[in-house]
């Protein structure tokens, strides 16, 4: 079982509404090279941060309506939510250190 849940629009809305932890959303697509490179690292990061974050992924090729709803215009787009509100997002040339920095910045322990 993966620690990153693959969701559609309804699943994402439910996660944003119901999740008590922060929600880290990876908007990706199979044709996106940087997305494919980043995904294994995000899965490893998810295993380490399950206490503070629920990691989910949305395939924007399979769910273009969700990408449009969340104003995703560049891939990868990584968005952080808490209590249904977007805290921040990283897009395009995302580095692992920038992802770690954002997760640290918005972790429960730091709020």
- The Cα 53–Cα 19 span in angstroms is 9
Which one is catalytic: 32, 87, 90, 100?
A: 32
Look at residue 92 in the predicted model and tell me its pLDDT: 87
35 annotated active-site:
yes
Q: Would 69 be classed as within a structural domain?
A: no
Question: Structural domain tally of the chain?
Answer: 1
DSSP class of residue 94? -
Q: Would 107 be classed as within a structural domain?
A: no
Report how far Cα 84 is from the mean position of its chain's Cα atoms: 13
Which one is catalytic: 7, 23, 25, 35?
A: 35
Name beta bridge partners: 88.
80
Look at residue 103 in the predicted model and tell me its pLDDT: 93
Look at residue 90 in the predicted model and tell me its pLDDT: 96
- Could you write out the DSSP letters of every residue in 17-68? HH-SSEEEEEEE-TT-HHHHHHHHHHHHHHHH-TTTEEEEEEETTT-HHHHH
Q: Would 110 be classed as within a structural domain?
A: no
* Closest by CA position to 108, among listed 89, 91, 83: 83
Q: Would 77 be classed as within a structural domain?
A: no
Indicate the pTM of the whole model: 0.93
Q: Would 44 be classed as within a structural domain?
A: yes
- 10-residue averages of pLDDT along the chain (111 residues): 88 96 96 94 92 96 97 96 95 90 80 48
Q: What domain range is 49 assigned to?
A: 1-55
CA distances from 48 to 42, 45, 62, 99, 103 (A): 10, 5, 28, 13, 11
């Amino acid at each position: 079982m993966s620690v990153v849940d693959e969701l559609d629009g309804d699943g994402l809305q439910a996660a944003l509404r119901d999740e008590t932890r922060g929600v880290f959303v990876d908007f990706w697509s199979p044709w996106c090279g940087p997305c494919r490179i980043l995904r294994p690292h995000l899965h490893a990061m998810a295993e380490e941060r399950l206490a503070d974050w629920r990691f989910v992924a949305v395939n924007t090729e399979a769910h273009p309506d969700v990408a449009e709803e969340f104003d995703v215009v560049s891939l990868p787009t990584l968005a952080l939510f808490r209590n249904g509100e977007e805290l921040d997002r990283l897009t395009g040339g995302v580095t692992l250190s920038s992802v770690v920095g954002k997760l640290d910045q918005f972790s429960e322990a730091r709020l």
